[in-house]
Amino acid sequence: MKIVLDSVTHARPSWSLAAKGTFTPGIHLVSGDVGSGKSTLALLMAGLLTPDRGTVIREGIDKAMLSFQFPEFHVTGLSVADECRSWNLEPEPVLASAGIMASPERPAHSLSRGELKRLHLACLLSREYDLLLLDEPFSSLDCPGKEWAARQIGRRTAGITVVFTHEQSTFPHIDHIWEIREGNLADCGGMPGALRAWERAPAIVKRLVAEEKIPADLTQESIVEAACRTQE
Amino acid sequence: MQDARIRLLSACLLSAAAFISISGAAAAFIWWLVFTHRLRCIRHRMAVLAAVALFCLVSFVIVLSGGDGLSYLVRMTAILLIGTWLYADSVPGEFPALGTWLLGPKTGFELGMIAGMAMQVADGIGKDFDRLRMAYAQKQVPWGIRVLLPAGRLLLYDALRRADETTELLAVRGYRNGGTCCPRFRTPFCDILAGTCAVFVLIVAFVPVSEFFIHYR
């Protein structure tokens, strides 16, 4: 199972994106500044946008899903219960998992954006996909919400998961890091070696790398473990 | 067409002509072919096709009940084409200017603003519709009759919610009534020509063309 970006390019009048690489099973992080082209790359990989040049090759992928940055883009049910059922899920366990106290009969759009994002992620991550593309899964969430989302994403053990985010503080377990630099997708490599090649890494990660205290992962536990590590 | 005044007037005249008679509808269609970008001015082709399909259904029912269904279909399609042209050529912010020019800074501005907001809602519904289709596709729910009703409810709910948010925004910004606007319009010669032709189209709608040909024979 893999998804190959074969010299893919996509251009707009004042901006362009070029991507080349192979995504294999595991959790991938695609990092980049706001406006760098992460969402465009997600659309290209999801097949919702056609590249100007090159091809996106999917091998062994039957079931794919793109989670948009804005959770309201996914809503097809009028009430919270309808929305859960539109994912073939029962509302009660989903609401309990997402920590939402709202009545299932409440209109889905009357939830706050953070609640709607948690509801969406809870529904999405209750199902299995060969390819799961998550565009800014931490946006609109508070710190506990981000930690909850990171734990949920990190539990995925099968398939290819790609997290597109500019987040700098909360991450799930990551296997591979990619970075969009000036319109080009750069392969930083597998963890933990990728941390050395990650140019726009969070300040704490950069400092730990400079001190040769390389974290094994990007989870908070790994960062704390590395920060507390005593140099021998 | 750049002048919003001539555009609105032409749309009213052409719609009236198309509604009055089949000869008016034919003349309005010819006007549409000559003075617009034709199919390029249709922003939401699927919505237009759906509307035409609905007209076909209604005209079929009219034929079954002994009425002139074909006339209904031709006239309504002509009105639809004029409407799509008016919608495609409109520029954000021109309705308050048009309203103010027509009815002054209080009533005119408010009516223009309402018209502008209505256009925004129409645009928003179009975008919501596209997103909704994508959301159903992502959930692997086939798009069809079964999902039309819940999708329609959701679109309506979203439109009302957006209207509510706009009202709150206006209230927060201290809007009470009326407004100041200094409308300026560019009137190129082709706009005057198109407007004049629209008047002739309305005249054609009143001419009993079939009787004229009978007398001629």
ipTM of the complex: 0.78
H-only helix segments in chain A: 38-46, 80-86, 91-98, 113-124, 143-154, 194-197, 203-210, 220-227
Q: At what angle do helices B22-35 and B4-20 cross, to 10 degrees?
A: 150
User: pLDDT, tens digit, for every residue of B72-81?
Assistant: 999 999 999 9
pLDDT score recorded for residue A177: 97
| Residue matched to tokens 């500019």 | A166
Residue of A nearest to B130 (CA): A73
B40 by DSSP, 3-state: which?
helix
pLDDT band at residue A84 under the 50/70/90 scheme = very high
B151, A78: Cβ pair inside 8 Å? no
Q: Beta-carbon neighbour count of residue A175 at 10 Å?
A: 15
To the nearest whole number, what is the mean pLDDT of chain A?
Answer: 93
How far apart CA A37 and CA A180 sit, in angstroms, is: 7
- The model's pTM is 0.76
How far apart CA B22 and CA B36 sit, in angstroms, is: 20
pLDDT band at residue B212 under the 50/70/90 scheme = low
| B142 reaches A (C-beta below 8 A) | no
Average the pLDDT over B2-6 and give the result: 91
Which sign, positive or negative, has the C-alpha torsion B201, B202, B207, B208?
Answer: positive
A107, B157: Cβ pair inside 8 Å? yes
pLDDT score recorded for residue B176: 83
User: pLDDT, tens digit, for every residue of B123-156?
Assistant: 888 888 888 888 888 888 888 888 888 888 888 9
A179 by DSSP, 3-state: which?
strand
pLDDT score recorded for residue B215: 58
pLDDT score recorded for residue B9: 94
pLDDT band at residue B70 under the 50/70/90 scheme = very high
**Chain B residues 111-140 with CB within 8 Å of chain A:** 131-132, 134-136, 138-139
pLDDT band at residue A208 under the 50/70/90 scheme = very high
pLDDT score recorded for residue B43: 75
> Is residue A232 predicted with pLDDT exceeding 60?
no
How far apart CA B146 and CA B135 sit, in angstroms, is: 15
A109, B134: Cβ pair inside 8 Å? no
CB A182 within 8 A of CB A15: no
Q: CB-based burial of residue A6 (10 Å sphere; 0-12 exposed, 13-18 middle, 19+ buried)?
A: middle
Domains of chain A: 2-190 (3.40.50.300)
The DSSP result for A183-231, as a single string, is TEEEEEEETTTHHHH-TT--HHHHHHHHTT---SSSSHHHHHHHHTPPP
> Is residue A75 predicted with pLDDT exceeding 70?
yes
pLDDT score recorded for residue B51: 92
A86, B134: Cβ pair inside 8 Å? no
Q: How far is A160 from chain B (nearest CA, A)?
A: 17
To the nearest whole number, what is the mean pLDDT of chain B?
Answer: 88
pLDDT band at residue B19 under the 50/70/90 scheme = very high
Average the pLDDT over B167-188 and give the result: 87
Peptide bond into B92 cis (omega under 30): no
pLDDT score recorded for residue B210: 65
Q: Beta-carbon neighbour count of residue B199 at 10 Å?
A: 14
